[in-house]
Structure 1
Amino acid sequence: MLDVVTWTVDPAIFTIFTREIRWYGLFFAIGFLLGYQIEDKIFKHDNAPAGWCDKIFIYVVIATVIGSRLGHCLFYGWEYYSAHPLDIFKIWEGGLASHGGAIGIIIALLIYSKRVTHRNPLWAFDRLVIPVALVGALIRTGNLMNHEIFGHPTDLPWGFRFIENLHQWHYLGAEPIFTAPSHPTQIYEAICYIIVFILLMYMYWKRNAGDRPGLIFGVFLIGIFLSRFCIEFLKNNQEDFEENMILNMGQLLSIPFVLAGIYLAIRAMKQPIVSGRIENIKPKQK
């Protein structure tokens, strides 16, 4: 039988001029760098014009940061941020929501498709979500390093004691129960996202799923947000207002994404195959 892990990793790698450089930020950055490399190979495989990958990277980075921050403020902390609107800009204090990031990316790709590719937005969605699944796994690893977003008490042998984060620890009266390990839900989600990433890579490179507009995007939405929906049953609530809810905010926000994914996947399988390769694009005249 495995021993329970007492998680004592320092969230900060080092400190520069009183500012901590955290593992979370490092994993976030690594995710974007790896994502760019994967996306670049995909765009080259589809003969996309030079510059398309650089532009989508810029759109996505900006949309992820803005969308994640606004998602947290609107979905999880509106009561506070509506009274302190300037604090919305204090990203360094923490508070990002993946559903907000997803909405931000969707809006950004609609704009990107209209301004850059002039193609069906599903072309960009199908190709972008492949590395996004990997980025999601790395971000959840960052949550693990931050001792945050973990689960209910468990007697399973792989439980983690997150003793560094008393704010999220399980309380009995006024005393924290240090003897009750928690579900390491960050690891559960990271594993699910890696599985989705591997599946999407297989679909694109081995099954030519990029020629069925919306199929990869649909499978991504189902795999990521259905995993999130299920794992939320094991998580601690992120905000006090969720205590009396049958489904928490993360689950309610996941349902539309799962339904959209099912619709897109079914629709894609019924539509004729359309080559995803970019052909006959002439350079602009200077």
Structure 2
Amino acid sequence: MMLYIDWNPSIEAFHIGGFAMRWYALCWLIGLLSAYFIVRRLYNEQKIKSELFEPLFIYCFMGILIGARLGHCLFYEPDYFLSSGKHIVEMILPIRFLEYGGWKFTGYAGLASHGGTLGLMIALWLYVRRSKLPIWQVLDNIAIATPVTACFIRLGNLMNSEIIGKVTDVPWAFVFEQVDMQPRHPGQLYEAIAYAILFFIGWYIYRKKSEKVGTGFFFGLCLTYIFTARFFIEYTKEVQEAFEASLPLDMGQILSIPFIIIGILCMKGGKWMKWSK
């Protein structure tokens, strides 16, 4: 046990009076703000009008949040959230109804990255319809920044001791004291590191070959890399819901496959796909 990393952080990063900022929310905020400044720089370098940038953040934030929430509820817990009107309300609002009446604020306890990705894609499509910018230019710019946000979200999962890995004897195993006292793979950290590496790869390619923006290459690279990494890292994780135990692949892997296929097609020439403008 002395070789392993004991992991038992507080879920709260800091307090200001009666307000407590949780690590998970803080990581989301840092990830989104980082992407905001990266994409703003890309827009400036590409001489895109500044008034077209500001609405982008709202579209992305709402698309990711709504998509991630609905993705978790519909992909991972449909039996619960679709079983009654109250549970459908819980799917939309960050509350949980109590057994004997009343309710409590819980925050959005359950967000799925696959749903967030789909929600982001829909939001960007709506943004393009309003801004009249080329869709592949927008998708490529967002894809360059996305790995930073994904990295911080997974660090938030690590601080929450959630989405834990399988029991292992590797020397870097984490003992998640809030879960049990067994050494486990830090699957959240594996993903965070993988996404950080992707950001530096994408940024390096952009600095060398900025003319690829608008071809669908960066969007395809982002989808292919992230969901391929996710597919294999899933082998180190515990299943999130009981029904996954009977499946040959878990839900995260099943949902990753179509994104990998779309990513490969985009890298091979996304701007020629029929749905592009």
TM-score band, normalised by shorter chain:
0.7 to 0.9
Is 1:216 the counterpart of 2:218? The answer is: yes
1:229 corresponds to which of 214, 228, 231: 231
TM-score (norm 1): 0.85
Q: Which amino acid aligns with 2:113?
A: S
TM-score (norm 2): 0.88
1:31: which partner in 2? 31
Distance 1:5 1:211, change over 3 A: closer
Task: Determine what percentage of the aligned residue pairs are the same residue.
Answer: 38
How many Å separate the matches in 2 of 1:218 and 1:14? 38
Q: Structure 1 stretches of 5 or more lacking a match?
A: 170-177, 272-286
1:129: which partner in 2? 143
**Counterpart contact for 1:209–1:215, Cα < 8 Å:** no
Displacement, 1:189? 0.2
1:76: which partner in 2? 76
How many Å separate the matches in 2 of 1:65 and 1:112? 16
Q: Structure 2 stretches of 5 or more lacking a match?
A: 95-106
Q: Which amino acid aligns with 2:114?
A: H
1:204: which partner in 2? 206
**Counterpart contact for 2:234–2:253, Cα < 8 Å:** yes
Is 1:115 the counterpart of 2:130? The answer is: yes
Q: Could you say what secondary structure the match of 2:13 adopts?
A: strand
Distance 1:257 1:209, change over 3 A: farther
Counterparts of 1:54-93 in structure 2 under 5 Å?
54-83=54-83, 84-91=87-94, 92-93=107-108
How many Å separate the matches in 2 of 1:16 and 1:224? 36
**Counterpart contact for 1:5–1:159, Cα < 8 Å:** yes
Q: Could you say what secondary structure the match of 2:184 adopts?
A: coil
Distance 1:239 1:73, change over 3 A: same
Moved more, 122-131 or 87-96: 87-96
Distance 1:18 1:126, change over 3 A: same
How many Å separate the matches in 1 of 2:199 and 2:112? 20
Is 1:103 the counterpart of 2:106? The answer is: no
Q: Could you say what secondary structure the match of 1:13 adopts?
A: strand
Displacement, 1:89? 2.5
**Counterpart contact for 1:220–1:261, Cα < 8 Å:** yes
How many Å separate the matches in 2 of 1:53 and 1:269? 22
Q: Could you say what secondary structure the match of 1:262 adopts?
A: helix
Q: Could you say what secondary structure the match of 1:243 adopts?
A: helix
1:53: which partner in 2? 53
Q: CA-atom RMSD, angstroms? A: 1.9
